[in-house]
């Protein structure tokens, strides 16, 4: 919160917290080395633009779009990815 | 850093062996490996190139399928083509990916280093696909790149500059469409030429990491399996060869291995995030390449988005999925049943036709009741397998299978599985055989094994006759609370019990035998495509063919063994009965000549009765019958006598055999589950020693519980053996399921007795 009591436009948050349809830029990916490497190889590299396309009917997993490809990813994994919303 | 002396000198014996290998490499047929990401159209291309000249096997020791075929080239030569599993990266995270890397680096045990790699890329989503390309180019072996789905890309207004990509990689890049076949002629021509090794792609890596990898690269021996590859790539591959499989490490000489481990430890201490630098560097190059080589001529269309809005809709999505599952399930029952009945009739007819041609006695019995019945047992599964795989490959090729997994993931997570496990488990309610075969769509090894091991708990259609017989005989047809039919409730409970057992076993397995690092549940949702009938039908043919070949041989062998156990040794009591039958038949003939109607009918009935008695006596005194008595002490606490023991043993052929076995044991011939006399026989059966009733409703419940949980199906065992490529897992499954069945039936029977229910 800023002193004027208004939320700042850009604030780093977890990928899973985005609304459906929102776009964001990957800032940081964390996790065990092996999982981290796998995510990176799929294109979850800092600086990449990601769109949260939709949530599955039961709220989880979520559908993402990055680098022209759509992925389904669970919330628990999406929480390893910090993003800056547009 | 100094090079250890034992590395500088190469032992001559190794050198000679290597030279010999190289020589045989030059004289044998050229080997082309097809690599590519999942959903890039690789298999469609493979099918198009090879036609029907394919064979499927397993790579040794793993469940990864090895698909190979032959492709005639313009020069008249034929090359062998290997369809590698789809992979995102050459740094493996699954057994499939280990195989791909090992084949491409020439360290896979049964496969020589490919002379050429054909890399298939989906032009419509080039950016993510180029990651594998970067790694593959770096290996330094000849590569031809096929830009697949160029027609679709053009329709979508995407232009890809193949010439620019070709210059960047120093490798031929050929636009094709595997679906329509355009560009395949040029591809065949390129496969015919001697392709030079590609140019190394520039990659950005932070200096300390580069230095560590280069240092390791310099230590690699100048001969051996890894010598003809780019040493920097091999060094990076060694540094990143961690996790479950370390086949690449094992292929490297001992000192190199030690050095790689030491350097990895040093990197972990100095640059904790060093593993991320390869992807970061590659994607930097890729972004630049994509920017230069692709041009979007019109804005992206939203066909996919429009379809997804319906198929993954909060309400419509699950409803449509459920409807589709209902159709599949119904088809497995409704379409398959008439075909299965026809097969059954055909097998019986074949037996009848062949019988007179064979000498009566053991040979005829072996052929008719052993071999033909065994072949019949194999073939009856084919319709269900074909129907399930018809749907699965349609769903997979159209892109819907991934959406189904997307919808079901949350539900299946409760069991520790992913959405992919749903369809195999659902199919297992019809039959576990196609269900277990359908687990191929699960990419995580532990999830797949768990699914295979719990699939047989789903009450399959073969259990239904057993339930029907026992419920009909022992469960009173009463209404509970005025609207719940008691038999219906019992049947429903049996299905629920199977599901609960599956959930429990999955939960335990995931925490014990199949515990492991949590896999990354990230799954691509591919664009929708119109499936190619050719590919779909080839998949169906492959699956059915493999089942008949691999599982079928085991099933046939076990059928013959079971036939032998139920037919031998021959009993002395049978002789007088057979004599009586002969005299009856003769007098029937003479009666027929005289025309005595009533007498003939009576005699025919008597003859049938004698025949049933012969069958009963032979079975009761056969090895199977004796085994039934032998296991009686073990099953008596569950409420079963030795006659049920025989039925339990013989139902290993297939569960429904239990019904006909009980009929034979009670001298009723070939009665089925609806037979009133069989039900009466079971209800009124008496223990000759005590004179008390042999079977009570409590025993019937105990027996049904046993059938829910026990693994009494040789075909399941055979198919698990084939799908896990080991005997260990099927044996574990039999012990686990039968142990569980015994405990549960014991609890039901003894608990029920203690409560005064039986």
Q: State the Cα–Cα distance between residues B295 and B291, nearest whole angstrom.
A: 8
Query: Which helix (H) or strand (E) segment is A66 a member of?
Result: strand A62-66
Instruction: State chain B's mean pLDDT as an integer.
Output: 86
Q: Report the pLDDT value the prediction gives residue B343, as an integer from 0 to 100.
A: 87
Minimum mean pLDDT range among B17-26, B365-374, B496-505, B633-642: B17-26
In angstroms, the separation between the Cα of residue B272 and the nearest Cα of chain A is: 9
CA B701/CA B387 separation, integer angstroms: 34
Q: How many domains does one find in chain A? A: 1
Chain B residue with the nearest C-alpha to that of A66: B128
Contact: B279, A60; criterion CB under 8 Å: no
Q: From the CA of B14, how many Å to the nearest CA of chain A?
A: 35
Question: Stretch B238-259: mean pLDDT, rounded?
Answer: 84
The CA distance from B611 to B606, in Å, is: 9
Chain A residues near residue B517 by CB distance under 8 angstroms = 32, 34
- Least confident interval from B57-66, B177-186, B207-216: B57-66
Question: What integer pLDDT is reported at residue A37 of this predicted model?
Answer: 87
Q: Does A10 touch chain B (CB under 8 A)?
A: no
Say how many C-beta atoms besides its own lie within 10 A of residue B556's C-beta: 20
pLDDT at B58 over 90: no
Give the whole-angstrom CA distance, residue B297 versus residue B725. 49
The string of pLDDT tens digits covering residues B537-561 is 988 988 888 888 878 888 888 888 8
Residue A3 lies in a domain: no
What pLDDT digit, counting tens, does each position of B563-615 carry?
888 888 877 777 788 788 778 777 777 776 666 677 777 777 887 788 788 88
- What pTM does this model have? 0.83
Judging contacts by C-beta atoms under 8 Å, the chain B residues touching residue A70 are: 304, 524-526
The domain containing residue A38 runs over which residues? 13-85
Rounded CA separation B79/B35 (Å): 16
Q: Is the pLDDT of residue B14 over 50?
A: no
Domain membership of residue A29 (yes or no) is yes
Q: How many CB atoms lie within 10 A of CB B433?
A: 29
User: Nearest-CA residue of chain B relative to A58?
Assistant: B410
pLDDT of residue B11: 38
Structure tokens at B738: 């039968």
Average pLDDT over residues A58-85: 92
- Residue A56 buriedness (CB in 10 A; 0-12 / 13-18 / 19+): buried
Strand partners, B173: B145
| Share above pLDDT 70 across residues of chain A, in percent, rounded to a whole number | 88
In a domain, A45, yes or no: yes
For B355-376, give one letter per residue: b (16+ CB within 10 A) or e: eeeeeeeeebbbbbbbbbbbbb
Q: What is the rounded CA–CA span in Å between residue B312 and residue B162?
A: 35
Listed range (B17-26, B30-39, B107-116) with the worst mean pLDDT: B17-26
Give the per-residue pLDDT at B6.
36
Confidence of residue A62 (pLDDT cuts 50, 70, 90): very high
Q: What is the pLDDT of residue B595?
A: 65
Which of B404, B520, B525 to substitute to test the interface with A, most A CBs within 10 Å?
B520
In a domain, A4, yes or no: no
DSSP 8-state secondary structure symbol assigned to residue B69 = E
Q: Is residue A65 part of a domain?
A: yes
To test the contact with chain A by mutation, choose from B410, B419, B529 the residue with the greatest count of A C-beta atoms within 10 A, namely: B410
- Phi–psi pair at B230, nearest 5 degrees: -60, 120
Would you call A37 and B279 a contact, using CB atoms and an 8 Å cutoff? yes
CATH code assigned at A62: 2.30.30.90
Q: Which two tokens stand for residue B752?
A: 């029920």
Contacts of A38 in chain B (CB under 8 A): 89, 93, 520, 522
Distance CA B37, CA B121 (A): 7
pLDDT tens, position by position, B479-514: 888 788 888 889 989 999 999 999 999 999 988 888
Q: Would you call B313 an interface residue with chain A, using a CB distance cutoff of 8 Å?
A: yes
State the DSSP H helix or E strand holding residue B436, giving kind and residue range, or none if neither.
helix B432-437
B-contacting residues in A 40-69 (Cβ below 8 Å) = 40-43, 45-46, 48, 53-54, 56-61, 63, 67-69
Q: Which of A41, A74, A77 sits opposite B279 (nearest CB)?
A: A41
- Read off the pLDDT band of A42 (50, 70, 90): very high
Residues of chain B with pLDDT > 70, as a percent, come to 95
Q: Does B523 touch chain A (CB under 8 A)?
A: yes
Asked if A71's CB is within 8 angstroms of B410's CB, the reply is no
Contacts of B265 in chain A (CB under 8 A): none
pLDDT digits (tens, 9 = 90+) for B318-335: 999 999 988 887 887 778
Q: Is residue A20 part of a domain?
A: yes
Select the more confidently predicted residue: B715 or B62.
B715
Neighbours of B139 (CB within 10 A): 23
Does residue B169 or residue B519 have the better pLDDT?
B169
Whether the CB of A28 is below 8 Å from some CB of chain B: the reply is: no
User: Poorest-confidence range of A52-56, B135-139, B340-344?
Assistant: B340-344
Q: Is A25 an 8 Å CB contact of chain B?
A: no
Chain B, residues 405-444, CB within 8 A of chain A, namely 405-407, 409-411, 413
| Cα–Cα distance for residue pair B200/B636, rounded to 1 Å | 73
- Environment class of B76 (CB within 10 Å of its CB; exposed 0-12, middle 13-18, buried 19+): exposed
- Determine, yes or no, domain membership for A18: yes
Cβ atoms B321, B401 nearer than 8 A? no
**What local confidence, expressed as pLDDT, does residue B2 receive?**
38
* Cβ contact, residue pair A40, B93, below 8 Å: no
- Residue B74 neighbours by CB distance under 10 Å: 10
**Per-residue model confidence (pLDDT) at position B183:** 92
Chain A contact present for B86, CB below 8 A: no
Contact A57 B407 (CB under 8 A): yes
What the block records as the tokens of B452 is 């295979």
pLDDT value at residue B18 = 58
Chain A CB contacts of B93 below 8 Å: 34, 38
Q: What is the pLDDT of residue B244?
A: 60
State whether A54 and B89 contact (CB < 8 Å).
no
For residue range B673-714, what is the model confidence (pLDDT) as tens digits? 777 888 888 888 887 777 788 889 999 999 999 999 999 888
In this prediction, residue A1 carries a pLDDT of 42
**Distance (Å, whole) CA B348 – CA B337:** 16
Look-up of token digits 């770096």 = B138
């Amino acid at each position: 919160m800023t002193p004027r009591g208004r939320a700042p436009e850009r604030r780093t948050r977890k990928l899973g917290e985005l609304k459906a349809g929102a776009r964001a830029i990957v800032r940081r990916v964390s996790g065990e080395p092996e999982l981290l490497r796998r995510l990176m190889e799929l294109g979850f590299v800092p600086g990449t633009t990601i769109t949260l396309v939709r949530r599955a009917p039961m709220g989880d997993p979520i559908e993402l779009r990055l680098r022209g490809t759509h992925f389904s990813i669970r919330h628990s994994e999406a929480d390893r990815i910090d993003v800056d919303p547009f | 850093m100094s090079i250890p002396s034992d590395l500088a000198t190469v032992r001559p014996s190794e050198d000679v062996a290597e030279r010999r290998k190289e020589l045989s490499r030059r004289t044998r047929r050229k080997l082309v490996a097809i690599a590519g990401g999942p959903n890039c159209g690789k298999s469609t291309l493979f099918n198009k190139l090879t036609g029907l000249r394919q064979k499927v096997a397993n790579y040794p020791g793993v469940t990864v399928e090895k698909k190979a075929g032959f492709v005639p080239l313009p020069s008249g030569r034929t090359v062998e083509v290997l369809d590698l599993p789809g992979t995102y990266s050459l740094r493996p995270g699954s057994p499939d990916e280990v195989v791909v890397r090992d084949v491409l680096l020439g360290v896979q045990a049964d496969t020589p280093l490919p002379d050429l790699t054909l890399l298939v890329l989906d032009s419509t989503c080039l950016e993510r696909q180029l990651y594998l390309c970067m790694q593959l180019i770096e290996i330094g072996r000849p590569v031809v790149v096929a830009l697949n789905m160029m027609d679709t890309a053009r329709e979508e207004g995407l232009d890809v500059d193949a010439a620019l990509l070709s210059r960047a990689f120093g490798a031929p890049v050929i636009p094709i469409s595997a679906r329509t076949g355009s560009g395949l002629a040029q591809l065949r021509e390129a496969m015919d030429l001697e392709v030079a090794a590609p140019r190394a792609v520039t990659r950005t890596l932070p200096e300390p990491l580069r230095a560590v990898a280069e240092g390791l690269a310099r230590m690699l021996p100048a001969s051996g399996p890894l010598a003809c590859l780019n040493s920097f790539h091999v060094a990076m591959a060694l540094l990143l060869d961690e996790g479950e499989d370390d086949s690449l490490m094992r292929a490297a000489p001992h000192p190199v291995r030690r050095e790689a481990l030491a350097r990895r430890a040093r990197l972990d201490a100095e640059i904790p995030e060093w593993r991320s630098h390869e992807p970061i560097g590659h994607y930097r190059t890729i972004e630049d390449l994509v920017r230069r080589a692709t041009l979007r001529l019109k804005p992206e269309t939203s066909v996919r988005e429009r379809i997804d809005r319906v198929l993954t809709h909060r309400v419509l999505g699950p409803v449509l999925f459920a409807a589709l599952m209902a159709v599949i399930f119904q088809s497995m029952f409704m379409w398959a049943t008439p075909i299965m009945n026809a097969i059954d009739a055909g097998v019986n007819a074949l037996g009848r036709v062949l019988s007179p041609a064979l000498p009566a006695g053991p040979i005829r019995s072996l052929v008719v009741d052993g071999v033909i019945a065994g072949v019949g047992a194999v073939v009856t599964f084919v319709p269900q397998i074909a129907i399930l795989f018809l749907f699965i490959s349609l769903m997979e090729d159209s892109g819907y299978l991934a959406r189904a997994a997307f919808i079901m993931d949350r539900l299946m997570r409760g069991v520790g599985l992913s959405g992919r496990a749903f369809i195999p488990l659902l199919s297992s309610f019809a039959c576990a055989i196609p269900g277990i075969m359908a687990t191929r769509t699960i990419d995580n090894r532990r999830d797949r094994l768990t699914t295979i091991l719990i699939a047989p708990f789903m009450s399959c259609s073969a259990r239904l006759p057993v339930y029907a017989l026992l419920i009909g005989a022992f469960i009173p047809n009463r209404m509970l609370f005025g609207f719940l039919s008691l038999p219906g409730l019992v049947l429903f409970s049996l299905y629920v019990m199977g599901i609960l057992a599956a959930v429990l076993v999955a939960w335990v397995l995931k925490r014990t035998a199949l515990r492991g690092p949590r896999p990354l549940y990230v799954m691509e949702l591919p664009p929708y495509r119109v499936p190619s009938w050719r590919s779909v039908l080839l998949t169906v043919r492959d699956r059915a063919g493999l089942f008949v070949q691999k599982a079928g041989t085991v099933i046939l062998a076990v059928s013959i063994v079971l036939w032998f156990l139920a037919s031998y040794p021959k009993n002395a009591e049978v002789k007088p009965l057979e004599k009586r039958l002969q005299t009856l038949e003769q007098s029937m003939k003479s009666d027929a000549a005289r025309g005595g109607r009533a007498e003939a009918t009576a005699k025919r009935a008597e003859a049938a009765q004698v025949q049933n008695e012969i069958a009963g006596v032979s079975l009761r005194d056969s090895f199977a019958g004796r085994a039934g008595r032998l296991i009686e002490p073990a099953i008596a606490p569950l409420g079963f006598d030795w006659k049920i023991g025989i039925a339990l043993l013989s139902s290993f052929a297939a569960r429904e055999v239990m019904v006909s076995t009980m009929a034979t044991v009670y001298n009723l011939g070939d009665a089925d589950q609806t037979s009133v006399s069989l039900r009466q026989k079971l209800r009124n059966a008496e223990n000759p020693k005590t004179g008390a009733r042999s079977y009570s409703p409590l025993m019937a419940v105990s027996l049904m519980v046993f059938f829910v949980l026990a693994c009494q199906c040789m075909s399941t065992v055979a198919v698990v053996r084939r799908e896990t490529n080991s005997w260990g897992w099927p044996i574990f499954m039999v012990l686990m399921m039968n142990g569980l069945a015994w405990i549960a039936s014991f609890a039901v029977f003894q608990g029920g007795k203690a409560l005064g229910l039986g």
